Chains A and B, each alone.
Chain A
């Protein structure tokens, strides 16, 4: 048997001149940007066209006509109203609940740590699966939640099937899935706050509600803003929970942007209208993100100035 000789490896230096180094290092980021920007500008172009896959002969540039059509289209204004209402309701309630739970679990004990980990479980569930699970639980015929509602004297509760309770039902699912996200973020924030102001307040006998409003909440604001930013961006783009539970119905109760855009593209093959809807959603998201980031920066500057 002949012993295999190990290949001789020569170290080769791959030199990049200092002039090119910044470009080489930023190349992956540049490629990623291109991967985002090409679809973005393609969508912009589509949104400026009358473009329906089922009417290829009618495809033409109509420039802003898709957007102008929205102005006189009640369905669009309903979509805007529903999307903003959904985002506002879901995020507000999640913030309140997330903050409340985080405050309850603030102290580092074995029990609190275990509970905080267990509460993350819904976040591990895919929202579409959570929606299907809730669809079963809220079934008026055999759903466990319908049964509990009947025990409370609420008969004939139709949950997502009724326009009166559909928004409540999908927001409930959103809260179940995403409150843990806010809770864990705020819990990390609460536990990272400096102890001195709280100790000083305790020594001075400051009431607990005053400590909460004047010390805890202001110091927690950057965390609250971060959590709100993430959740607002995500909830205004909500699709899976709503589509899996109601497909946007009953009627037009839950026709949020993503559901409308999805149906416009995949069902109606109306590429132009679908792209225009998504561009408006992008503009809203951009505006809200900027608003939050500016406020976050302002708070940071303020904190530095006071330090």
Chain B
């Protein structure tokens, strides 16, 4: 490398110039933006090596990962050579599609296999893995200065996201409490907000809905305006995954809960209150009037691809679906817009329930310290910035990445409104469910009840009373109610 380039990179590492300044000056020197980005990332990784931390401590060790096929995993794999150079470690990984991924994780962990040292998971899954003794409490590593590099900056992670991955293991225990165990490290996350087709909206003269009533009206009007499409995409399959995105985000905006926790720690159903019944009624009507005809089989995949293909006018679902559908070879690429959303007209601050792709450490790993080296690098600032600016690692969980001008510019140029949506929603973004071991049973049954209500097999009020009765029975059977 020539002298000028070297000087520039050193100035960047020493904080004398910003990332944007570095790339501009490298461009003047004839280095293209992609190359400059890679160089900056390599230099940032080099800088990590110089922070006094012994990155080479586990040199020669190989860690094995279990990964879900996802842009987050792709970003990590694309940057892996930097980790290998930094630590002298090797990394092997198996990647599985999401359809079978969690079955594979459950099989690997329940058998006590030491094959995988770390793996991708959702925070909800750790409510099973943690109490079962399959994953480690990562507080032991995060707080150990001999094992965690001084630039890791755990506090840089968004508070709501960080605490959503921490639970004390007590059924009903508050997430992120003082005695909580950090079962996983947030990696990337999804808020649930509105992504809509701006072309459809402007042609039909529609404005962005601000509450559940407006959402129903707008979805119905959009459906009228579309030729053969439908108004609003939300998930509907018989799965817990139908409850956690838009549905629970809107539900939480009314201050409603899934379960009550009594003073003696007993749990009981809380979804058949009057407010909840009214909200459910509106949600069900919205799907009946303006949802996908085959809503009952819709997973995140159909919700996203229908928006990208122009079959739906908007979605109330994971924001990153709107992000991905606005690019690539999707028919509606470039036409999608974003808006924060709160269902409750009296509480305009959005309360998105969140899905967090996280990294967890297997309790059966024979090289936990080495696995932690990988985890802290993969969840560190340098990799997050690389992923966010060079790959599709959205949404990052670090405040510093969201503050990065390059990242914000990139989003503002190609995904107008995305940053604003994120910034408005981030303060209220967290997991709004009650942490407890029957999470998947109860939410799957909740989804099945919604399906019955939408199909008019049961009235909303009656359906919710039946659901609450069943939930209470299951909680009692499990010794939790």
Contact = CB atoms under 8 A, between A and B. Distances in A.
Interface of A: 52-58, 69, 73, 75, 135, 139-141, 156, 158-164, 245-252, 263, 266-270
A186 to B, nearest CB: 34
B418 to A, nearest CB: 28
Given A55-B437, A267-B444, A251 B132 contact: no
Nearest to A262: B103
A141 B103 CA distance: 31
A34 to B, nearest CB: 20
A206 to B, nearest CB: 52
Given A162-B455, A247-B239, A268-B441, A54 B297 contact: no
B297 A246 contact: yes
Contact of A251 (B240, B455, B478): B455
Given A158-B293, A163-B455, A250-B296, A52 B437 contact: yes
A156 B292 CA distance: 11
A135 B237 CA distance: 13
A141 B294 CA distance: 8
Contacts of B408: none
A267 B440 contact: yes
Nearest to A65: B477
Interface residues of B, number: 39
B110 interface: yes
B457 interface: yes
A252 B297 CA distance: 13
A58 B478 contact: yes
A248 B238 contact: yes
A255 to B, nearest CB: 8
Interface in B25-74: none
A246 B444 contact: no
B131 A156 contact: no
Contacts of A56: 131-133
A246 B131 CA distance: 31
Given A158-B293, A250-B452, A269-B128, 13 more contacts: A54-B132, A54-B437, A54-B438, A55-B437, A139-B294, A141-B311, A160-B296, A245-B297, A246-B238, A266-B106, A268-B438, A269-B106, A269-B132
A71 B311 CA distance: 45
Nearest to A55: B437
Contacts of A139: 294
A250 B106 contact: no
Interface in B462-481: 470, 473, 477-479
B376 to A, nearest CB: 27
3 tightest A-B CB contacts, nearest first? A249-B238, A54-B437, A140-B293
Contacts of A247: 237-239, 297
Contacts of A161: 293-297
A245 B299 CA distance: 12
B239 A158 contact: no
Nearest to A244: B99
Given A53-B110, A58-B479, A269-B132, A140 B294 contact: yes
B102 A250 contact: no
Contacts of A158: 293-294, 296
B128 A53 contact: yes
A58 B131 CA distance: 11
A139 B457 CA distance: 22
A266 B103 contact: yes
B228 interface: yes
Main secondary structure of the interface of B (DSSP, over half): helix
Contacts of A252: 448, 452
B451 interface: yes
Interface string B276-303: 0000000000000000111111000000
Nearest to A166: B296
A54 B131 CA distance: 6
A136 to B, nearest CB: 11
Contacts of B237: 246-247, 249
Nearest to B241: A247
Nearest to B311: A141
A180 to B, nearest CB: 27
Nearest to B299: A247
B374 interface: no
A68 to B, nearest CB: 11
A164 B454 CA distance: 13
Given A156-B293, A250-B451, A250-B455, A53 B240 contact: no
A249 B451 contact: yes
A52 B478 contact: yes
Nearest to B445: A75
A40 B457 CA distance: 39
Nearest to B463: A251
Given A163-B455, A246-B238, A250-B238, A69 B477 contact: yes
B127 interface: yes
Nearest to A60: B479
Contacts of B437: 52, 54-55
Nearest to A254: B238
14 contacts: A52-B478, A56-B133, A57-B131, A135-B297, A140-B293, A156-B293, A160-B296, A163-B451, A247-B297, A249-B237, A252-B452, A266-B103, A267-B440, A269-B110
B438 A162 contact: no
A55 B478 contact: yes
Contacts of A267: 240, 440-441, 444
Contacts of B454: 250
A263 B455 contact: no
Interface in B244-259: none
A251 B457 contact: yes
Interface string B220-251: 00000000100000000111100000000000
A106 to B, nearest CB: 40
B297, B457, B470 — most chain A CB neighbours (10 Å): B297
Contacts of A250: 238, 296, 448, 451-452, 454-455
A58 B476 CA distance: 13
Contacts of A141: 228, 292-294, 311
Nearest to B107: A266
A180 B71 CA distance: 42
A73 B473 CA distance: 9
A58, A158, A268 — most chain B CB neighbours (10 Å): A268
Contacts of A160: 294, 296-297
A162 B296 contact: yes
Given A160-B297, A248-B238, A263 B444 contact: yes
A55 B457 contact: no
Contacts of A58: 478-479
B369 to A, nearest CB: 26
A267 B442 CA distance: 11
B184 to A, nearest CB: 15
B452 A251 contact: yes
Nearest to B450: A251
